[in-house]
C-alpha cells in the first residue's frame, strides 16, 4: 500500500539534462525521507541520470510510457524492463495525450499495462472523458468503458493506481469542483471493487490543472488519494507545495 498522499509529476516532453537534473536535485534535497509518496516521471533520455541524482532520496522515479513487449524490432520504443533497468518503479499508461494524439486504444493500453506489471512496475493508469462527453452527460459511460477495456490482467491494489484525468481539465486551468471529483472517485472505487478482488483499495488520483492553490481542497476530499500533476510539476517549489498541501511531509 502506497503511503498517502500520492503526488506524481508528469514532466511530459520537458527536460534537457541540465534542467532535469536541477529540478530532480531540488526535489531530492527536500525529500531524504517522506511520509507520503512523491514521484517524478521525466523523459526517457534523462532517466538514468535522474535516477542517480535522486538515489539517496525517497522520491519515486517513473517512465511516461512503455511498449507491450519485453524486447524486439520496435524502432523508437522503450520496454517496461528497460524502464526498470533505468531505475524506474512506475510507469504512466493511457494518458489522454497518447490515447488521442497517438491513437492508443483501450486494448493497447491494457497490453502495455500487463507488460509493466510483469516487469514489476507500478502502473499509473489514466482515464478521463472529453469535454463533449462530459457535456453530453456520458462521463460514467466513458470511464466505465476505459476502465473495463484497459484494466490489466493481474492488476491489484499493490501494482495499480488509477488516475482520473478529465481531458478538458488538462493544461487548461479548469477543474471539476472538489465535490464533483469526490463523487466520481467514489463511483470509480465502486467500479474497481466490482472488477478486482481488492479493487476498493486501489489508490485513486485526480489529474488536471492541479496547482498548490487548489491541491489542498482536492486532496481533502474523501476518496482522493493523491494527484497526478503536469505543468506544475516542472517547478520544484510549486510541486513540493502541492505535496505538502495534501498533508505530506
Residue entry with cell 514521484? 39
CB of 208 to ligand PEP, least distance (A): 5
95 an active-site residue?
Answer: yes
Looking at 64, 79, 159, 209, which residue binds ligand PEP (CB under 6 A)? 209
Looking at 229, 236, 242, 245, which residue binds ligand PEP (CB under 6 A)? 229
Looking at 129, 165, 168, 203, which residue binds ligand PEP (CB under 6 A)? 165
Looking at 39, 231, 246, 248, which residue binds ligand PEP (CB under 6 A)? 231
Residue 10 interacting with ligand PEP (CB under 6 A): yes
Among 67, 95, 97, 104, the one annotated catalytic = 95
Distances (CA, A) of 181 to 15, 20, 88, 225: 30, 31, 29, 11
Residue 226 interacting with ligand PEP (CB under 6 A): no
Count of chain residues binding ligand PEP (CB under 6 A)? 13
For 207-237, the DSSP string reads ESS--HHHHHHHHTSTT--EEEESGGGGSHH
178-195 vs 139-150: helix crossing angle, rounded to 10: 40
Q: Which is nearer to ligand PEP, 82 or 210 (CB)?
A: 210
Question: What is the Cα–Cα distance from 44 to 230, expressed in whole angstroms?
Answer: 16
109: cell is 493500453
26: cell is 531540488
115: cell is 507488460
Binding region for ligand PEP (CB under 6 A) out of 134-142, 144-152, 190-198, 230-238: 230-238
Among 104, 129, 165, 185, the one annotated catalytic = 165
Question: What is the Cα–Cα distance from 162 to 151, expressed in whole angstroms?
Answer: 9
Catalytic residue annotation: 95, 165
Catalog residues that contact ligand PEP under the rule CB under 6 A.
10, 165, 170-171, 207-210, 228-232
Amino acid at each position: 500500500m502506497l503511503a498517502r498522499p500520492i503526488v506524481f509529476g508528469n514532466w511530459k516532453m520537458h527536460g534537457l539534462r541540465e534542467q532535469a537534473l536541477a529540478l530532480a536535485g531540488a526535489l531530492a534535497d527536500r525529500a531524504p525521507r517522506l511520509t507520503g509518496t512523491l514521484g517524478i516521471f521525466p523523459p526517457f533520455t534523462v532517466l538514468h541520470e535522474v535516477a542517480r541524482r535522486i538515489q539517496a532520496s525517497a522520491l519515486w522515479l517513473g517512465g511516461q510510457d512503455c511498449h507491450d513487449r519485453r524486447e524486439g524490432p520496435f524502432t523508437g520504443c522503450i520496454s517496461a524492463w528497460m524502464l526498470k533497468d533505468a531505475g524506474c518503479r512506475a510507469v504512466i499508461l493511457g494518458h489522454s495525450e497518447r490515447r488521442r494524439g497517438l491513437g492508443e486504444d483501450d486494448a493497447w493500453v491494457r497490453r502495455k499495462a500487463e507488460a509493466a506489471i510483469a516487469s514489476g512496475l507500478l502502473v499509473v493508469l489514466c482515464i478521463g472523458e472529453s469535454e463533449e462527453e462530459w457535456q453530453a452527460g456520458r462521463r460514467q459511460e466513458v470511464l466505465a468503458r476505459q476502465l473495463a477495456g484497459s484494466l490489466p490482467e493481474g492488476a491489484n491494489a499493490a501494482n495499480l493506481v488509477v488516475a482520473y484525468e478529465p481531458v478538458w481539465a488538462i493544461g487548461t486551468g479548469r477543474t471539476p469542483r472538489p465535490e464533483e471529483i469526490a463523487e466520481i472517485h467514489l463511483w470509480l472505487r465502486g467500479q474497481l471493487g466490482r472488477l478486482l478482488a481488492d479493487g476498493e483499495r486501489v489508490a485513486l488520483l485526480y489529474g488536471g490543472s492541479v496547482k498548490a492553490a487548489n491541491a489542498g481542497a482536492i486532496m481533502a476530499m474523501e476518496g482522493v488519494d493523491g494527484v497526478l500533476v503536469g505543468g506544475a510539476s516542472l517547478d520544484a517549489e510549486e510541486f513540493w507545495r502541492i505535496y505538502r498541501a495534501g498533508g505530506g511531509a
